[in-house]
Amino acid sequence: MKVLIPTTNGFLNKKYTKYATSADKYQGYPIVSFPVIISDVPRNAKSLAFTFLDQDAIPVRGFTMIHWIAANISVNITCLPENMSQKNDAQMVQGSNSTSGSFINEHDKKISQHYFGPCPPDRDHRYIFRLYSLDKLLAIDQGYYLNEFYDVIEGHVINTATTVVKARA
């Protein structure tokens, strides 16, 4: 299984980060998700899921920032188009990102349960996108948390594919 996120020299287009124009932000947050190209999904997979995490945030925030998580994506999808997070059309179940916790306490689901673009405050950060092929659809609801995701995928992961992209400080 392979996953590709278009970048320039390894960096996300500014449209998907804190440098997005005001038209690509909502209440100051970058919310337009980047495209994701998927290939070579195992034939026995029943669904796809992914996480998009920033571990470089640990020294700044004290925890890994969750920027986007989603599950129950069709195995027939070969591309998640730009802004899929906001234009979901029920093609995936999106979980809560780090803005939904008590640290930031964002209650607007347009922000907290969708893509929340990179905003590294201290230096360029690396972001890990991990795609999972699973042997079943997950019994999981919109707004689920990352720990719930890890619990429900246990024993159901067929394969993973990982790519790392960067965003500028």
Mean pLDDT within 54-78:
96
Structure tokens that stand for 93 in this block: 């179940």
Q: Is the pLDDT of residue 135 over 90?
A: yes
Structure tokens that stand for 87 in this block: 């234009």
Closest CA to 167 of 112, 123, 113, 116: 123
Mean pLDDT within 131-157:
97
What CATH number did the domain enclosing 12 receive? Answer: 3.90.280.10
Between CA 132 and CA 137 the distance in angstroms is: 12
Instruction: Please state the domain count of the chain.
Output: 1
Owner of token pair 């986007």? 68
Between CA 140 and CA 169 the distance in angstroms is: 34
Q: Is the pLDDT of residue 103 over 80?
A: no
Segments forming the whole domain that contains residue 138 = 2-167
Between CA 46 and CA 136 the distance in angstroms is: 5
